[in-house]
Structure 1
Amino acid sequence: MSKLYGAIEAGGTKFVCAVADEDLKVIERVSIKTTVPAETMADVFKFFEKYQTELVAIGIASFGPIDVNRKSETYGYITNTPKPGWKNYDFLGEMKKRFDVAYAWTTDVNGAAYGELKKGAAYGKDSCVYLTVGTGIGGGVVINGKVIEGYQHPEIGHIVMRRHPKDQYVGHCPFHQDCLEGLAAGPAIEARQGGIKAYDIPKDDEAWEIVAYYLAQACVDLTLILSPEKIIFGGGVSKQEQLFPMIRRSFAEQMKDYVSTPDLDDYIVHVQLGDDAGITGCLLLAKEAVEQ
């Protein structure tokens, strides 16, 4: 009997579910709207039930915060999320009730980081950081080929920023105000510009210099702490192509040659797998869960 691997990329807007063969070639893939658990998960269960006899593992990469601490009573839960209905939801537990298979459980950004390491922009490397910059900012980390988790998972979007000298915006984050997400995520960019949507801001506007300064500062911090071989940006804001040379230039100015890095054109890069990064990482982690 052939083995099949499942994947769930659980986002705040939609769930992407897939099943792949032993070569991780996708057999079927569906998108399910994220509403409330009773509705969304019913569709998730229905999708995987078709493959239940051959399914050997499922990799799950979920929006969060989630509990990744195996010693915790709430391991496998979505925890303190603002998404209505999902707070303290036992995601992994509900899956295990229905499918007796091996599981990999991590954050959506860790899943994307792993996909990019194995199949995307960081292919051939041992380490990378993946940052998604959109409505919020999240970061996934892979070091020595392993997804980084500790007592909990990294929350790179909430590292505190040194302010740009010209930035008078108070900050969007209700917890920290001047963290990376509070100053550089989509809502912050729009609020700083008086409500103008990011995609309507001219590409040569000074607003992008400010955003690039914060994203570069995050890259400096991550370089000094983790020394990854690649820093990869995804998400809607990163589709502003003019940002990349600006981030690299600001990174060089802020780092001041203190430590060496790969050539910046090859170090700070755009996501290669695009919307497939997360589901690719989930499938890879599912296969590893069986092998381990």
Structure 2
Amino acid sequence: MLGAIEAGGTKFVLAVSDDEFNIIERQSIPTTTPEETFEKVFKFFDQYDVSAIGIGSFGPIDVNLESETYGYITSTPKTAWEHTDFIGVMKERYSVPMGWTTDVNAAALGELTYGAAKGKHSCLYLTVGTGVGGGAVIKGEPVEGFGHPEMGHILVRKHPEDHFKGHCPYHGDCLEGLAAGPAIEKRYGKKAQELADTEEVWEIEAYYLAQALMSYTLTLSPEKIILGGGVMKQTQLFPLIRDEFTRLMNDYVQTPDMEEYIVSPQLKDDAGITGCLILAQRAL
């Protein structure tokens, strides 16, 4: 039996499955303090005899196996979780192999294996919601080095008609500071779903996201780009992003057909937990 934790900034999704990734039980719990949250995590997994656990966590996290703080959540904006030894806490309770990466790397792995990028060798998954985060899988392995990608914090050119200063506490007007859900809400004074029919909102949003996708494409050349998260449930964004991406790229490099290249998650909200189960299996 495999265990999985998709540790998001708002909620944790917990699941156990058989070795074929058929989910036996799943549960969603709110992300509060580490003490409260881990207590609920233990209550869930204590019911099962799991052979491995895969964890995809919000970050930043330490993924460097040679680091003294491997398995930690590090300098996260969720201050209660700063410097939390996630893997250490879990290992104290469960003496089983554990896979560990970011929540978006896990989602990318899920989509590559069973979702929109199935049959490909690489993909990039970008979530646009409360924050902006990106993960990439190349030749079946999540992209990691001394750390992991922080794709939401790249710098983008400001839209000529956008006078919003940005919402990121670290960088102000980085991609997350300009394009995440809270940035949209702060810029217009309304939540994204209340602005569905306001064209200007989504033209500016597409302007920023297309710049980011161009940078990722020129850097990593993923075979598929998958856009998830709450903001991307505004499906009118997809054609706007594809058009702006095409304009920006200006035929510099040949890319796959836009309708096939920039897509929504096929696994929908199950991409992350599926990737975590795959991490668990690999940890064995």
Q: TM-score if structure 2 supplies the norm length?
A: 0.97
Q: Distance in 1 between matches of 2:272 and 2:117?
A: 14
Instruction: Indicate whether 1:285 and 2:268 are aligned.
Output: no
- Deviation, 1:59, is 0.2
Instruction: Indicate whether 1:108 and 2:106 are aligned.
Output: no
Aligned equivalent of 1:19, options 6, 16, 23: 16
Alignment of 1:129-208 (within 5 A): 129-193=124-188, 195-208=189-202
Residue in 1 that maps onto 2:219 = 225
Q: Distance in 2 between matches of 1:183 and 1:85?
A: 25
Aligned equivalent of 1:48, options 37, 45, 49: 45
Aligned equivalent of 2:249, options 238, 252, 255: 255
Residue in 2 that maps onto 1:32 = 29
- Deviation, 1:192, is 2.1
Residue in 2 that maps onto 1:70 = 65
* Distance change in 2, residues 1:251/1:184 (3 Å): same
Say if 1:112 and 1:280, in contact at 8 Å, map to a contact too.
yes
Percent sequence identity over aligned pairs? 64
Amino acid at match of 2:205: V
Structure 2 gaps, min length 5: none
What is the aligned residue count? 284
Look up the SS of the partner of 1:97 in the other structure.
helix
- Deviation, 1:15, is 1.0
Residue in 1 that maps onto 2:207 = 213
Say if 2:121 and 2:223, in contact at 8 Å, map to a contact too.
yes
Q: Distance in 2 between matches of 1:202 and 1:81?
A: 31
- Deviation, 1:58, is 0.4
Residue in 2 that maps onto 1:88 = 83
* Distance change in 2, residues 1:174/1:33 (3 Å): closer
Say if 1:36 and 1:84, in contact at 8 Å, map to a contact too.
no
Using the TM superposition, name which of 252-261 and 37-46 deviates more.
37-46
Look up the SS of the partner of 1:132 in the other structure.
strand
Q: Distance in 2 between matches of 1:285 and 1:146?
A: 10
Instruction: Indicate whether 1:58 and 2:53 are aligned.
Output: yes
Amino acid at match of 1:244: F
Amino acid at match of 1:15: F
1:157-206 CA deviation, whole Å, 9 max, x = no partner?
A: 0000012222221111122122110111111112222x121111143421
Using the TM superposition, name which of 11-20 and 129-138 deviates more.
11-20
Aligned equivalent of 1:7, options 4, 26, 29: 4
Q: Distance in 1 between matches of 2:185 and 2:95?
A: 46
Instruction: Indicate whether 1:239 and 2:233 are aligned.
Output: yes
Using the TM superposition, name which of 204-213 and 109-118 deviates more.
204-213
Q: Distance in 1 between matches of 2:163 and 2:13?
A: 39
Q: Distance in 2 between matches of 1:58 and 1:111?
A: 13
Q: TM-score if structure 1 supplies the norm length?
A: 0.95
Superposed CA RMSD in Å reads 1.1
Structure 1 gaps, min length 5: none
Amino acid at match of 1:60: I
1:122-156 CA deviation, whole Å, 9 max, x = no partner?
A: 11111011000011100011011110111011000
Query: Structure 1 residue runs of 4+, over 4 Å off?
Result: none
1:203-228 CA deviation, whole Å, 9 max, x = no partner?
A: 34212111101100111001100000
Amino acid at match of 2:245: F
Say if 1:203 and 1:242, in contact at 8 Å, map to a contact too.
no
Say if 2:196 and 2:234, in contact at 8 Å, map to a contact too.
no
Amino acid at match of 1:263: D
